[in-house]
Amino acid sequence: MATTALRPAATYRTGLYEWLTTTDHKKIGILYTFNSLILFLIGGIFALAVRTELAQPGLQFMTEATYNQMFTMHASVMIFWVVIPFLAGFGNYLVPLMIGAPDMAFPRINALSFWLLPLSAMIALLGFPLGGAASAGWTSYSPLVQAKFSTGPGTDLWIVALTLVGTSSILGAINFLVTIFKMRAPGMTLFRMPVFVWTILVTSVLVLMGTPVLTSALIMLYIDRNLGGSFFNTALAGGNAILWQNVFWFYSHPAVYIMILPAMGIVSEVIPTFSRKPLFGYKAFVFATAGIGALGFSVWAHHMFTTGSVYLPFFSLMTFLIAVPTGVKMFNWVATMFRGKIRFTTAMLYAVGFLSLFLIGGINGAFLASVPVDYHVHATYFIVAHIHYVLFGGSIMGIFAGLYYWWPKMFGRKLNEGLGKIHFVGIFIGMNLTFFPMHLMGISGMPRRIADYSATAGWNDLNLLATIGGFTIAASMLPFLWNVFITLRGGEPAGDDPWEGNTLEWATSSPPPPYNFDHLPPIRSERPVFDRRHANDVPSLTAGH
């Protein structure tokens, strides 16, 4: 123990007790990362179960009841225990470093935010040994979700688990906002903050305003199911099934921005570094992020076009408007790369992969904003294709870009680039093989959430292709896991600043000491580390001293 104070890197190996009780934002960030990775594998197994069953028409491997649990838990796990906390984990690790703070504003609340995650995941998964997990779909529409149709403890456990995840998110959002507003280093004005911090700021506002509404919806659902309430239960006087959809989507649409904005932030750090240029249009990017956040609260009913109880022109128009700030960002990224000195590291490949796949997800999303098109493809595989192009092609690609980019900072060792590129090629090909055919299935009418389909419907080849793609994604995770394993045992030492980064996390050691910074470079722009590296290149830059 005596040597650990001298060698900060060694504090990361001080045993289980330290990890269980830590309030250090960096360790909590790493806990978030590994918890999310484990649940990514669990959620991936559910996805493989779904794809295996759908490879051919007929029921080969599971009952319809089991299938319902598989797709419900796949979506729930991936949304609530993988993408959202994965990105929150990056936020935990990076926000204090990027703004030059010693830790988050409330370190103990931060630890609570994390520990609610494995607890709630276990509660949700407990449904399997207790007679069936939740199976009404992650959207849990009434009346299907009511006690009469969704028997067993699975749905109630799911409600409790989601309430706990929501609490974790809300506490995390408060922590991020106070940290960003109160803990910035001298010189770190709001418009000098790294774009990733901006995206976490806007995301936190969305969490703060949206997640409590989901909590209220879940509580009403719990009362309906267990105490004989009649909020959404149309079998009782006054119950209104559409009410659930309104309250649920009021959170769950902003939730897709909660899941994409920080990934956009990650990409906006990776692309400038590996293009050796500043981000094109920093302020435009910040305002676009805020714009997406603000518009995000006025589009929830585009999930409900076919219910006949929403004002279609308004929600359609607002949904189309979301494409404007998103297009601004796309322009920013492409313009950043234009005439840049691009280095195709694994992180950069993932960032470019993000751009191409998210572009497809954005364009087919604009199709869905059109009411007539939505009427045709509502609740078909077209929706499944769209959500996976934005959440897998967008969020997950962004997450992997971030992992390869910041892994050297987190552990002081670089992930192997060769294995990383194999991982990328596998996941990119597998992802398109899986999800592109789903557009065609959806247009030809294949409904989502079915365990079986007619052999003569013309969906056989497309489904087989999607299943092959699913297993390609799974196989591509093997080189990644091997990469993580060998790197943790001793990869190539990274040094403080392996990529020639721009932002403050690269100004400290890898991994950083518990207190983050011995001293900070002067902060006079949004790229303080770049400024320090090139302080002597141009005489005029040093005039300020």
118, 137, 152, 212: which one binds other proteins (CB under 8 A):
212
In the complex, minimum distance from the CB of residue 192 to other proteins, in angstroms, rounded to a whole number:
14
- Comparing CB distances to other proteins, the nearer of 299 and 419 is 299
- Comparing CB distances to other proteins, the nearer of 101 and 446 is 101
- Comparing CB distances to other proteins, the nearer of 230 and 509 is 230
217, 322, 337, 484: which one binds other proteins (CB under 8 A):
217
Report the SS3 class of residue 450: coil
Site for other proteins contains 191 (CB under 8 A): no
57, 102, 137, 458: which one binds other proteins (CB under 8 A):
102
User: Which span sits near other proteins by CB under 8 A: 45-53, 153-161, 214-222, 434-442?
Assistant: 214-222
Q: What distance in Å separates the CA atoms of residue 285 and residue 211, rounded to the nearest whole number?
A: 25
User: Which span sits near other proteins by CB under 8 A: 215-223, 330-338, 401-409, 415-423?
Assistant: 215-223
Q: What distance in Å separates the CA atoms of residue 48 and residue 207, rounded to the nearest whole number?
A: 30
Q: What distance in Å separates the CA atoms of residue 199 and residue 453, rounded to the nearest whole number?
A: 42
In the complex, minimum distance from the CB of residue 166 to other proteins, in angstroms, rounded to a whole number:
10
Site for other proteins contains 56 (CB under 8 A): no
In the complex, minimum distance from the CB of residue 269 to other proteins, in angstroms, rounded to a whole number:
21
Report the SS3 class of residue 477: helix
Q: What distance in Å separates the CA atoms of residue 203 and residue 263, rounded to the nearest whole number?
A: 11
Q: What distance in Å separates the CA atoms of residue 334 and residue 327, rounded to the nearest whole number?
A: 11
In the complex, minimum distance from the CB of residue 105 to other proteins, in angstroms, rounded to a whole number:
5
Report the SS3 class of residue 110: helix
Interaction with other proteins in 384-423: which residues (CB under 8 A)? none
Residues 6+ apart with CB under 8 A from 227: none
186, 308, 539, 544: which one binds other proteins (CB under 8 A):
186
Site track 300-339 with other proteins (rule: CB under 8 A), x = hit: ----------------------------------------
Of the candidates 141, 102, 348, 332, the one whose C-alpha atom is nearest the C-alpha of residue 246 is 141
Residues 6+ apart with CB under 8 A from 540: none
Site for other proteins contains 33 (CB under 8 A): no
Report the SS3 class of residue 495: coil
9, 18, 359, 486: which one binds other proteins (CB under 8 A):
18
Neighbours of 185 (CB within 10 A): 19
Report the SS3 class of residue 193: coil
In the complex, minimum distance from the CB of residue 101 to other proteins, in angstroms, rounded to a whole number:
6
215, 273, 316, 467: which one binds other proteins (CB under 8 A):
215
In the complex, minimum distance from the CB of residue 364 to other proteins, in angstroms, rounded to a whole number:
31
Site for other proteins contains 340 (CB under 8 A): no
89, 210, 272, 469: which one binds other proteins (CB under 8 A):
210
* Structure token digits, residue 129: 């040994």
Of the candidates 354, 228, 377, 200, the one whose C-alpha atom is nearest the C-alpha of residue 305 is 377
Residue 191, phi then psi, degrees to nearest 5: -90, 15
Residue corresponding to tokens 């240029």: 277
Report the SS3 class of residue 74: helix
List Cα–Cα distances, 161 to 76, 86, 215, 252, 336, in angstroms.
Answer: 10, 17, 11, 16, 41
Site for other proteins contains 95 (CB under 8 A): no
- Comparing CB distances to other proteins, the nearer of 308 and 539 is 308
- Comparing CB distances to other proteins, the nearer of 178 and 328 is 178
Q: What distance in Å separates the CA atoms of residue 177 and residue 272, rounded to the nearest whole number?
A: 25
5, 20, 317, 379: which one binds other proteins (CB under 8 A):
5
In the complex, minimum distance from the CB of residue 175 to other proteins, in angstroms, rounded to a whole number:
8
Q: What distance in Å separates the CA atoms of residue 166 and residue 252, rounded to the nearest whole number?
A: 12
Angle, in degrees to the nearest 10, between helices 397-411 and 241-275: 60
List Cα–Cα distances, 358 to 153, 326, 374, 389, 429, in angstroms.
Answer: 37, 10, 20, 6, 15
38, 42, 219, 330: which one binds other proteins (CB under 8 A):
219
Q: What distance in Å separates the CA atoms of residue 113 and residue 107, rounded to the nearest whole number?
A: 10
What is the Cβ-side half-sphere exposure of residue 51, based on CA atoms within 13 angstroms? 28
User: Which span sits near other proteins by CB under 8 A: 74-82, 235-243, 339-347, 456-464?
Assistant: 235-243
Interaction with other proteins in 144-183: which residues (CB under 8 A)? 170, 173-175, 177-178, 181-183
228, 418, 493, 495: which one binds other proteins (CB under 8 A):
228
What is the Cβ-side half-sphere exposure of residue 24, based on CA atoms within 13 angstroms? 17
Site for other proteins contains 241 (CB under 8 A): no
Q: What distance in Å separates the CA atoms of residue 240 and residue 237, rounded to the nearest whole number?
A: 9
Neighbours of 202 (CB within 10 A): 24
- Comparing CB distances to other proteins, the nearer of 11 and 150 is 11
144, 223, 359, 468: which one binds other proteins (CB under 8 A):
223
Site for other proteins contains 211 (CB under 8 A): yes
16, 108, 129, 227: which one binds other proteins (CB under 8 A):
227
Q: What distance in Å separates the CA atoms of residue 391 and residue 379, rounded to the nearest whole number?
A: 17
Site track 350-389 with other proteins (rule: CB under 8 A), x = hit: ----------------------------------------
Interaction with other proteins in 496-525: which residues (CB under 8 A)? 513-520
Residue corresponding to tokens 């592109």: 436
The residue ranges that bind other proteins (CB under 8 A) are 1, 4-5, 8, 11, 14, 18, 22, 24, 27, 100-103, 105-106, 170, 173-175, 177-178, 181-186, 208-217, 219-220, 223-224, 227-231, 236-240, 243, 246-247, 250, 513-520
